[in-house]
Amino acid sequence: MGFRFPASADQKLIQIVDSALSDATRKSGAWLACRPGCTQCCIGVFAINQLDALRLRRGLAELDRRSPARAAAVRQRATDAVSRLSPGFPGNAKTGMLGATPQAARKFEQFANDEPCPVLDPETGLCELYEARPMTCRVFGPPVRSEDGLGVCELCFNGASEAEIAACEMIPDPDDLEPSLLERVEDGTHHRGNTIIAFALTR
């Protein structure tokens, strides 16, 4: 029997993250510039984990059932992106897996920063797989704490003080549900490590 995606557990994680986003959005008010059609966070590649990748593929399959033409357009953009990105990909271009060495990480920081996400509809500026989007997409905009401090989108919180930013902090996964769910996915699929959206949708 093949691996079955833990849909109910993933939906619970998504609900928690989306609830945290809603709360942060309410607290942020006018400081938050995120609106439908804003594509600031859709330009430039970023790493996604295997849970994100599997969720995206399921989302694309669902889009294919609802709108085959839109799904085909997403697949074509992803295929085109893979062709462009493969020569300098900081990892294994055959598997789409990013390299795990410090050298590969440094290379990735400068990699494809102007590349649009293949899931972005270039005509509408909307995400074609919004309900299945990766966690990075779900938390972009509001202040989220990392090892570098509180990070925010450069379009948001212009003129806000550090205290005002901190008051709107988003804690997306307070119970750390994602790591254990990711482990289940990696153990079940035998795929480990990070990739990017274009490769996830063409593998």
Q: What pLDDT is recorded for position 146?
A: 78
- Structural domain contains residue 37: yes
- Structural domain contains residue 1: no
Q: What pLDDT is recorded for position 189?
A: 93
- Structural domain contains residue 127: yes
- Structural domain contains residue 2: no
Number of domains making up the chain: 1
Q: What pLDDT is recorded for position 106?
A: 96
Q: What pLDDT is recorded for position 147?
A: 76
Weakly modelled stretches of the chain, pLDDT under 70: 1
Write out the residue range of the structural domain in which residue 94 sits.
Answer: 7-200
Q: What pLDDT is recorded for position 85?
A: 98
- pTM of the predicted protein model: 0.93
- Structural domain contains residue 191: yes
CA 122, CA 110: separation in Å to the nearest integer? 23
Q: What pLDDT is recorded for position 128?
A: 98
